Structure 1
Amino acid sequence: MTMGQRIAQKRKEQGLSQEGLGEQLGVSRQAIYKWESGAAVPEIDKLIALSRLFGVSVGWLLGVEDPGPEDTGDNTAEAGSGVSPSPAELTDAQLKMVEEIVERYTAALPKPLSSRRRRTLKLAMILGAVCLVGVLYGLFGRLDQLDDQYGNLQSNIIQVQNSVDNQIGSVSNRVEEILKAQNSLVADYGVELLAVNPAHNTATFSVYVVPKTYVNGMTVEFIAENGTTASDRVASAGEDGSNQRFSGTISIELTDNITVSSLFVSPDGTRSTQLLEQFSGLYSDTLPAVDLMCYDSGELLGLQVDPSGLVTLPEVYMTTRPNVSTDGDPELIEQSAVKAVQMGLFKNKTLIAWLEPCDKPERFQGDYENESFYHLPEGTTAMLAKDTDQLQFAAVITDVYGRQAVYSDIPYILSDGELTWPSTADLRDHDPASWDYGQ
């Protein structure tokens, strides 16, 4: 079980919604969602607050220790407050235990002791027990120090390994650069992205090259390729003056993988090609992006399937919110606007059911600005026959130019007969060709 699943489990046990837990911790419901989905981890102070609220140890939340008596929710007042007893003080339970030990010992003595001697002996044993507790706490403190030293040693070893790896990587990169320079056909070159036009679905580049070895009468053709097609070849006979610098402008249909190359043609007909630049993600940067949020998603965790593998889902609300971020230059890459959104429930990227657009439910209090709501009614079913089956919500986005992209939420998988989140999830596949929804 991951840390996020442990948080979700304890939250549900205490009857808290993600928003309610966030209010108690002073964080947003999005932060709680990210913790439970594994997209982020709580800060140290929030981990401590969670452990106190749930009555469990930080180690249990992190998954580094098994639940003990302190994790059962029956903690004493001191334990519940997160304040450990000092080495010189005993809790009521510890005092009672020491007194029982003393009484049993005195009862087993061969001859009766005077009341004064019994009190003295009892006091001595109590003092001894206090000293023993102090010694144990000191020992535990020493063990904690050793753990810290061991952790620091591990950290130092990792730093040394990273430093060595970086040095090796730097040397490897330098060797690769030298080999590329030796094998390169150009002495100088440049490729500049001039514009990305989503309306025409094109990308335009300006290119220049200076050949390493120039021959009179040499010409150069510039080519752009997008994985399926190649652009028209733009020929250049060199510039006046030096006659060694060739330049041109080329356009090609927009995709996420575009390469720009130069083809050198010698007077004798010899042809040599040189790759100049590679561009990735240009098409995706022009698509409208959205953030997905699944409310009551914690209720899906732990849902049981019947013997045939059938799971019945509760009522679920999903929202989408525009995400205008882009990795490219916003002055060169225009991000298109959303025309339509369809929210669906998918099994292995195949549509099971569309969710219905709806107004914000009255029970949802708070700021939901720019969020659109979608509703899945209670009772929707899905058949999960094996651990590899994935159940997930995804939004199909259509932009104003008729292009589509798919943005998905964290999937659910079947584990030990119930729904859970996978340890890792890749949500970067936005290609509609990977999804089956009747497009």
Structure 2
Amino acid sequence: MTTGEKIAALRKEQGMSQEALGEKLGLSRQAVSKWEADQAVPTMDNLMELSKLFGVPVDTLLRPDAELMPKTEDSDESWPGAENQPVRNGNRKWKIAAIAAAGLLCVSVVCSAVSLWRVLAMQQQIDTLRMQSGPSTIYYPDNTSAENSDLADWSENVTVDRQNTENLLVTVSAVPRSMLDGETAKFVVRSGDQSWECDAEDNNGYSGKLSVPFVDTFSVYLTLTGTNGETRNILVTSEYDLEQRLRLSVTAHWNNGGISSTGEKNPTTTVSGGVEVRVYCSSEDVKPASSNIVLYRNGKVQDMQPIDIKDFTGDSTFYTDVNWRNLEGELGEYRVKVVMLDNFDKLYTADVD
């Protein structure tokens, strides 16, 4: 059995809930739950308290191969006919019992010494790992159901940062179910191996705002650090598909007409016809602000025609006619593109196919 399984079995044997055990140890129900799920290891002080509470050695709690042995009642040393035995037999029994007890005491002392040595060695290994890896941190899985949430309330908003359109602006607030005196708080945004953080302002709960690079997926955590250095990381929310939600999707093609060329010695080019432009965005926060169909010759702007985008509804198609004739140069020198700015001044381009 693992340490967590042993704690759970002993707790149930005592008829205690996780919350009741946590109260006896001065900890939260979540801390006990993490022990029993083997997501965290009790500290040495907590192990000693558990040992006293359940009446089992610390070594028994730590060693996977050590079984939990139920206590047995003292055996009845009387048997039928015992009163007829000579007194010397009774004396001999007591001598044997005393020798056995002394032997058991010696074995117990040795086992306790070995157990203490092993516990101290294990604690030293744990402390070494903590020093190497920094503060112990557990990031919860993406599960924000009311039953498992450590938050009494929370809110979050994400949009494009107007100060830097390559970034996202994340505004978040959270109220933990339990708030401890002296805790410091910050919000951490994690995306893959990257993370960004800001201090959380305490105002009947915690709030913060931070600008992060434009990533497609991230999770927000409230990180609480106690006066003893112990850290609680609480998942607030997760966001997905931000590139699709907060960026315009712009495509364009010729509905009729196109680019054509006439003449061989002195060729001229004509760009004429109807251009169909589709613009899509799932967020109401992002919308096109200005758009043009631009004519390029060898990469340089020659002319442009504005697109009427005032009736954008989130998924709209716009039709615009262009008519550029008698242009010098060959057909291959010309390109037609849609150039669009959104309301955050983010630039988008799309070739007219």
TM-score interval, normalised by the smaller of the two chains: 0.3 to 0.5
The structure number with the bigger radius of gyration is 2
Larger helix percent: 1
Larger strand percent: 2
Give the TM-score, by structure 1 length: 0.31
Give the TM-score, by structure 2 length: 0.37
